[in-house]
């Protein structure tokens, strides 16, 4: 008897959570209903088309930190997606080759592999597709495929590492550079107190933080910021600034000012906010979201409470040793600052 009740509970929860049942339940949404919008982090964000192995991850880590992937030899992936600062550069928009100031804010690399697509406009399907982009972007790392391969082939340790990581390929391929970096990125998961809560530890978040979670659900934030990454899974129009967003890629009228919804994991660390990085305060960002996306004017108190919840999404940051990079040889193409 007891057992059948337990089995029944989740079903009940699903029933309660669906529709606008919330409206009549001021403060009384039950835990299962709250949790049903999210799922907790995996240990690694696996991709069946780019299987993880230690050699690949180690190689990817080296490449991620290697400034030789840029034309100047000065900029690495980590320059803008800094592992020590929430996987971002905490700049409005990033600095690239020749001190070029980029058009959009650098999204975090932490948990990024779990997003439904990559870049603010979602133009890459996954981190495998994303990782090769900035290296070749003239305003970012400004390197060429040809020169990357020349550089890597001139360094015996890299040649060896590629052979080990991709035993089926006899030569270094550019797509494997991206695959290795992506493999490393797939390990950058930051489990948070909110994950502990999702997994059943009710004490992992405070009463105030849970109140914030309830507001987050009731006010409708959860409509976009849901799933394993509390965002990152869908596209949404955002009438803010001049950036046409996804329209630049699809040229479809309906995609004007449409952006991929940002993941809120580690949002406390990934300031400044929005695609133009012009908003520095998390409270201000929540306020703007309320007004623009939900059409509600959130009270200062509600904002504070929601922000308290958002801070439970700050996870255990990656513990990564600065990789010691293999030295160049006399055959390695030289850095070019111009």
Please select the residue that binds a copy of itself; options are 22, 38, 65, 119, rule is CB under 8 A: 65
Interface positions, 120-179, toward a copy of itself (CB under 8 A)? none
Binding window for a copy of itself (CB under 8 A); candidates: 52-60, 198-206, 222-230, 312-320: 312-320
**277, 120 Cβ separation under 8 angstroms:** no
Nearer residue to a copy of itself within complex by CB, 23 or 321: 321
Residue 103 engages a copy of itself in binding (rule: CB under 8 A): no
Least distance in angstroms from the C-beta of 284 to a copy of itself: 9
Q: Which range, of 134-142, 146-154, 170-178, 313-321, touches a copy of itself by CB under 8 A?
A: 313-321
User: For residues 85 and 153, which CB has a smaller minimum distance to a copy of itself in the complex?
Assistant: 85
Selected binder of a copy of itself within 90, 147, 234, 250 (CB under 8 A): 90
Crossing angle of helices 54-65 and 174-185, rounded to 10° = 100
How far is 216 from 211, CA to CA, in rounded Å? 9
Cis ω on the peptide bond leading into residue 272 (within 30° of 0)? yes
Q: Cβ(227)–Cβ(41) under 8 Å?
A: no
Distance CA 304, CA 283 (A): 7
Q: Which stretch binds a copy of itself (CB under 8 A): 170-178, 204-212, 296-304, 323-331?
A: 323-331
Check binding of 92 to a copy of itself (CB under 8 A). Answer: yes
List binders of a copy of itself among 236-295 (CB under 8 A).
Answer: 268-269, 271, 280-281
CA separation, residue 178 to residues 69, 133, 140, 185, 200 (Å): 11, 9, 16, 10, 37
50 lies in the binding site for a copy of itself (CB under 8 A): no
Non-local CB neighbours of 22 within 8 Å, separated by 6+ positions? 29, 33, 217, 218
Is 79 near a copy of itself (CB under 8 A)? yes
Question: Given candidates 32, 40, 82, 154, which one binds a copy of itself under the rule CB under 8 A?
Answer: 82
Q: Which is nearer to a copy of itself, 250 or 317 (CB)?
A: 317
CA atoms of 40 and 63, how far apart (whole Å): 29
**Is residue 91 a contact point for a copy of itself (CB under 8 A)?**
yes
Contacting range for a copy of itself; rule: CB under 8 A; set: 38-46, 129-137, 246-254, 317-325: 317-325
Instruction: Tell me which residue of 222, 232, 190, 199 sits closest to 306, measured CA to CA.
Output: 222
Size of the site for a copy of itself (CB under 8 A): 40
Minimum separation from the CB atom of position 39 to a copy of itself (A): 25
Residue-level length of the chain: 338
Q: Ramachandran region of residue 331, left (φ > 0), alpha (ψ -120 to 50) or beta?
A: alpha
Quick one: which of 16, 44, 95, 124 contacts a copy of itself (CB under 8 A)?
95
Q: Is 140 a catalytic residue?
A: yes
Q: Which of 128, 140, 143, 185 is catalytic?
A: 140
Grouping H, G, I as helix, E, B as strand and the rest as coil, residue 94 is: coil
What minimum distance in Å lies between the beta carbon of 334 and a copy of itself?
Answer: 7
Cα 317 to the center of its chain, rounded Å: 13
> Whole-angstrom Cα distance, residue 226 to residue 116?
12
CB of 313 closer than 8 Å to CB of 230: yes
Cα separation, 286 vs 276, whole angstroms: 16
Q: Which residues are catalytic?
A: 140
Which residues make up the interface to a copy of itself (CB under 8 A)?
65, 67-68, 72-74, 79, 82-86, 89-92, 95, 98-99, 101, 268-269, 271, 280-281, 317-325, 327-328, 330, 334-335, 337
């Amino acid at each position: 008897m007891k057992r059948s009740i337990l089995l029944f509970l989740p079903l009940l929860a699903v029933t309660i959570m669906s529709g606008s049942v919330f409206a009549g339940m001021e403060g009384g949404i039950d835990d299962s209903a709250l949790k049903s919008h999210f799922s907790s982090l995996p240990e690694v964000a696996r991709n069946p088309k780019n299987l993880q192995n230690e050699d690949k991850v180690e190689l990817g880590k080296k490449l991620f930190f290697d400034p030789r992937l840029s034309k100047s030899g000065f900029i690495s992936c980590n320059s803008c997606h800094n592992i020590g600062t929430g996987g971002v550069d905490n700049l409005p928009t990033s600095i690239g080759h020749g001190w070029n100031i980029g058009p959009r804010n650098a999204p975090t690399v932490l948990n990024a592999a779990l997003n439904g697509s990559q870049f603010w406009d979602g133009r890459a399907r996954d981190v495998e597709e994303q990782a090769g982009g900035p290296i070749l972007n003239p305003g970012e790392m400004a390197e060429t495929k040809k020169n990357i391969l020349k550089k890597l082939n001139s360094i015996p340790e890299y040649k060896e590492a590629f052979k080990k990581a991709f035993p089926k390929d006899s030569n270094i391929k550019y797509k494997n550079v991206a695959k290795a970096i992506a493999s490393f990125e797939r390990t950058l998961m930051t489990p948070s107190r909110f994950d502990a809560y999702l997994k059943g530890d009710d004490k992992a978040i405070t009463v105030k933080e849970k109140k914030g979670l309830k507001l987050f659900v009731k006010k409708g934030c959860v409509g976009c910021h849901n799933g394993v990454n509390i965002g990152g899974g869908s596209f949404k129009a955002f009438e803010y600034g001049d950036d046409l967003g996804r329209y630049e890629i699809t040229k479809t009228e309906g995609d004007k000012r449409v952006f991929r919804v940002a993941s809120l994991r580690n949002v406390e660390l990934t300031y400044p906010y929005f695609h133009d990085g012009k908003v520095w305060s998390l409270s201000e960002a929540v306020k703007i979201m309320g007004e623009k996306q939900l059409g509600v004017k959130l009270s200062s108190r509600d904002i504070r409470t929601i922000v308290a919840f958002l801070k439970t999404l700050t996870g255990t940051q990656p513990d990564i040793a600065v990789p010691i990079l293999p030295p160049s040889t006399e055959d390695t193409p030289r850095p070019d600052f111009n």
